[in-house]
Each structure stands twice: as structure tokens, then as C-alpha cells.
Amino acid sequence: MKAICPGSFDPVTFGHLDIVTRVASMFDEVIVAVGHNMSKNGLFLPAERVEMITECTADLPNVTATTFSGLLVDFCRDQGIGVIAKGLRFGADFDYELQMAQMNGHLTGVETIFLPTSPQWSFVSSSLVREVATLSGDVSALVPDTVAARVRAKLAERAG
């Protein structure tokens, strides 16, 4: 059975990778789907995010990464994906994700499963990683080394 782990992954963090790894142990095939969230100010292009995810999941043979646009449930239907897997850090995540899961189920019948984020990553978000890095903070404990290097390079490129 196929599952999907959707998100913006800008950048991919150890919290994301924790969820992806756990989902990969439960399903035959896992697609990490990079969507574009218009309400978020992105650092990386979607294709760059897919590259980072692909690098970071190279040891998981049943995981692939791709981009999608439009409704996630339409992508799931087109790809034959029956389960959406979402990580939850805290209660507010649940409140938001439950509503989305119910809407997705209503639209196409696709199921959503929720996994609690491992405690050591519950405070980590891509937004905070970007903010800390933008202010010259060290994010190496929050993201893989290759991602930290890309974050530093992208911020240096933007600084001119």
C-alpha cells in the first residue's frame, strides 16, 4: 500500500525525517510530496526541496520525493495513494490537521493517519529553522549536515 507524507519541507528537518522514516516502516511505498503553501515565505524552490529530501532519504529504498500542485487528494487519486500520513507536534497541529483529514476524506475517501512527532523534535519547524539561520544561528542540530550547508549557501546568496 502507498502512503504520502505531504508538506512544504522548506527546509526538511530531522522532525520531518523522523515521520518519513516511521511511515516508511509501515507502508510498501512512501511518497514525500512537496506542495506550495502560498501563506509561507519560502527559502527554497520546490525542486530544491525535492533534492534535499531525496538526499536525506537515500537509505530508504521505498521512499521517493516529488512535487505536486492543486488538491492533495487529487494527486493521491491520480497516483493510487490510499493514505495520507501527517506528523503532529502539539495540540494545535491536531486541531488543524483533523479538519483537513475530514475534508480530504469527504472529497475522495482517502484516509489520514496521525503520528506524534518524537519528543526530541517536537519544537522543530521549518519556519523556526529559517528564522534562526537568517539570524546567523546554528541549525546543525535541527537538520542534516547537507541541508544546513544548503541553508547557509542560500542565505549567503540572498545576502548578495
Active-site positions read: 16, 40, 89, 126
All three cell numbers of 82: 490510499
**Strand, coil or helix: 24:** helix
Radius of gyration of the chain (CA): 15
Backbone torsions φ then ψ of 4, nearest 5 degrees: -125, 140
CA-to-CA distance for 139 and 86, rounded, in angstroms? 23
